[in-house]
Structure 1
Amino acid sequence: MKALPERIVAAGFGLAIFLLCGVSIASYFQLQKLVKNKQWIIHTYKVIGSIDNAFEAISEAENAHRDYLSTRRKVDLDKYHTSVKKATQSIEQTRQLTIDNPTQQQRLERLEPLIEKRLALLDQSVSLIQHNQLETPARIAFIEQGGAVQPEIRSGLQSLKIEEYALLQERAAATGFSNICLVICIGYFSSFILLIWVYRLLNKQIGVSKALSEEAIRLEQQATKSKLENILERITDAFVALDPEWRYTYVNQRAGHIFNRDTKELVGKNIWEEFPKGIGQKLYHAYYQAVTEQRMVQLEEYYPLWDKWFESRIYPSREGLLIFFQDITARKQAEIALTQSEQRYRSLAIASAQVIWLSDANGKTVGDTSAWQQLTGQTDAEIKGLGWLEAIHPDSRERIHQSWLQAIATQSLYEQVQPMRTRDGSYRDFWVRGVPVREADGTVREWIGTCTDITERKQAEEALRQAKAELEIKVQERTGELVRSNQELELFASVASHDLQEPLRAISGFTQLLMQDLPADLLDESTKEYMHWIVDGTQRMQQLIHDLLAYSRVGTHDLVLTPTDCNEVLEQVSRNLQVAIAENNAAIFHDSLPMVIADKTQLIQLFQNLIGNAIKFRRKEPPKIYIRVEQTASEQIFSIRDNGIGIQPRYLEQIFEVFKRLYTRQEFPGTGIGLAICKKIVDRHGGRLWAESQPDEGTTFYFTLPNRE
């Protein structure tokens, strides 16, 4: 019974291998055919490229010839000769590439004389130019002859390209993978079916061998575990293993020695119950990081419980965590000492970056002068006493000397900017500062000071001063330009407003007269509706012009900032809106409003637009408007809240744009400029304007005005 399945399996595998070999051979021949076709496609692209190069070279030769006619420059003549050579080479290359195509060869035989003729005309023209014999009539004749030949050349080159593109399409179609794929797929499918059949036969044998393998693996794992425990007990590191529930599964003797616990006693216990002080510490987070990110985490940490530094290497595994500890206390102490030493060295290096000098109580230089020598190039003998003054610029030497003598006499702080000659002979500015060191009785024992190179800072200060002066000039010029521009804009807006509104008033007036004077038999419903649209449209246009003019004037008129009582502003707005308030039965509630520094006219317009919107965009119940103000150290925050229809939050950033409307004119009339005017008024006052709203819950507009003295 065992021999039969083995023969069947062998036969099945043999048949599958035979089919795979057949598929491979068929695939090889198909791929060879594909490679050959691809080579012909590449050849066709080369022919097309050669034709394009020829046409491009002829065009470049004509352009260079044209440039040479105009400029007579040698560079244009060289470019012309290069292009002629390139054109000749490209035509010859095309002939070589199409030598296997008689049709293309015939086209080239017709085309080459035309190209030679065209190039000969260009050469003849160049020769005449070089001998100054090409007058205007001759030039025109050459141009006409060349123009007659050029279309034929272009047509000939195009015919060559059309033929090559046809060949390209034909050869590309021959490179399809369909035949290859069909052969390969049939072969592989047959092999796959055979392999499945063989697999089913093998599956029975696998079941038996699997049971034997599992037993062998279990025995091998036991042996491996025993061997691993022997290794872990011999290593110099402490080692513990944790399961996913944070319970110890293994603790080697070195770890037990560190914990001062019996290793068997720890197995099965939760690490955080045994060492609760570790919760929240760096080690705790490192353990969780290794589990979460499934990667090794290395940590160096000080443990006060044992007064030692440990390096921990935490490895995640399927069984939990494998953790190695190593005592690195000695190394860390050495590192800390090295770090402290390095910090001291860095501090000393930073401190000594300046030139430090010493002098006695009488102001004579003493002590180590190596830093000064390095700076100025003087010798120690030249520096000692008052010799250091020789390094000061001659124009400042006497002033510095007298200042130093005065500081010594008064025993006060010495501070001066000294232009000093450096080792390379150039002068640089140094900030020199010296302080007296006193004895217990108050007498000066010595002076100690520093020299700091401030040349770059002085240069930067001078550059900043010059830039500031230039900026002030530019600001004045720009301010003048803005004033003139605003005046021109204001004049234009005024004239445009008058000139635009005058014909609109005529259209509206005469249309209304027609509606009154025309006989009733001529005024049917359609005519009345059309005339009503005309009147309504002209009135909306007039309102739009009025609002645009108001928007323009907000930005062009100068701000007149005066102490303004917001209560008076609100009273004026209420009088301006009294008709709308009465018609809508609106109620306005407000705090006692403050005195602000603002442009009163624009502040009235701001309140009027916001309150007017609150009345207009109402629900069925009467509008209720609440005006509040909050004082901060730097600004006044005003809020105007209503119980209207509200706004979708996604539109709150868009409502301050010019002409932005959220509703049709039939629902709520208006031009969509009011809130844009409000935004510009608040911006000009240096404040902010924003809104908060929800549909059917009303809207609150906030604006701020900065506190001014």
Structure 2
Amino acid sequence: MSPLSMHPGTFEASPWDGQAFWDAPIGIAFLDEGLRYLRINKMLAAMNGLPPELHIGRSIQEVLPAIPPAVVESLEHVLATGQPIFNSVLTRWAAPRPSEAQHFLAHYYPVRNEAGALIALGTAVQDITGWRRAEMARDRSEARFRALVLATAQVVWTTDAHGELVEESPTWRAFTGQTPQQSLGSGWVDAIHPEDRTRARSAWRQAVHHRELYTVEYRLRRPDGSYTPTLARGAPVHNADGSILEWIGTNTDISASHRAREEHARLLGELQQAVRIRDEFLTVAAHELRTPLTTLGLRLQSLGNDARGWPGAQLARRALEQLEVMRRQVKRLTTLVNSLVDVTHLSEGRLQLELESVELCTVVREITVRLADEAARAGCTVKLEANCEVPGRWDRLRLEQALVHLLSNALKYGAGRPIHIHVMKGEQKARLTVRDEGIGIAPEHLPRVFDRFERGVSERHYGGLGLGLYMTRRSIEAMGGTVSVESKPGEGALFTVELPLRPPEEEGRP
């Protein structure tokens, strides 16, 4: 389209020559059909960096050599069509510091006289550098926030002022598997564990109503259907007038904290249990050590009285009887002390084995004979089935100690009833069982009868330090074997020991 004809002679009487034009807060200029300046106010002149008088009669390209071609094209388009162009954003870069760019909002429009004839081309330019920089800063902030949301391990969400989820949260979707349609509004509550929903919803409504911080723990469903404990926090974002614009919040995975809390509770429970066991042990140990000492003292006192009043032959017989009782008490004290020393070695990992060739049936018979008097006092008959040779390489002392503990345990809790011992040989293992017909063990005590200082019954009714079965298990396991128990209350107990015929480190040797 050819350019419109102008009537420049009619422009001299333009009312734009007044003070309002000159002092206008935006830049204004009028150009002729050659894009030469006819009028310019001081604001636009300042934007161009030249005095107003240096603009008049010069083309826009002469005044601004670096002007973008798009500006000239826009101006020529207005001349050709008579149609204005509004809201064109221009950027002028300040070399060599691009960060100091200036931004302008320009409008180009035809100026006509009363007859409708085109008399000039008008331009209005506004410096929007401050606004544009604020807008760009906001865009950068939003982009940074979105990047942070995507990069963070937390779930980040926003709601409207009424607490309704109106915008999808990518991290919520990734964490819970909910689609936007499922989570928007109050649908997010459906991802909370059913047992936690009422509490979480109530806390959220209270926070929104009272315009206060929102903090609550609840479990969130994962895409696989499992639930993860989270800490939800939310805070209101206010408008300038103090009203709430929106809410922003996070859900933090606190499963590690929960595990640490549970572990702390477990350790605290174990510590309390250990203190209880220690106190019980000290009470029992004091009682167990005091009993033989008291007996020894009484026997020594009685022997002294006898020595002063009895004839020689009667005194000798009496002394032998008293000495036998004292020998048993000294043996008992020695056993108690040795048990404490052995437990210390076991706790410190200093249990040393002296392996040698041992025949198990022979050892069992010797232990049965050694405890014959104890069995008689308990009113028990010991029935032994050991009709074959069962040779192996074991620590004889530790093996004897384990057998003594098992048989003594059977005599203690099966007093007055038979004790059954059975020894047999397998292809690679020796098997020993000790069964009594006594009071048995309650199911809740079975898992811990081999623990240190533990016992299946009250120490007030049965003596002992609660170390025999613990030392038995540790000794048997040190030799590569196992020991287990089967029992029901009132039906006795069956202890089973299995030992490899050769220790693991010697397997495969010729």
Query: Normalising to structure 1: TM-score of the pair?
Result: 0.24
| Higher fraction of helix | 1
| Higher fraction of strand | 2
Query: Normalising to structure 2: TM-score of the pair?
Result: 0.33
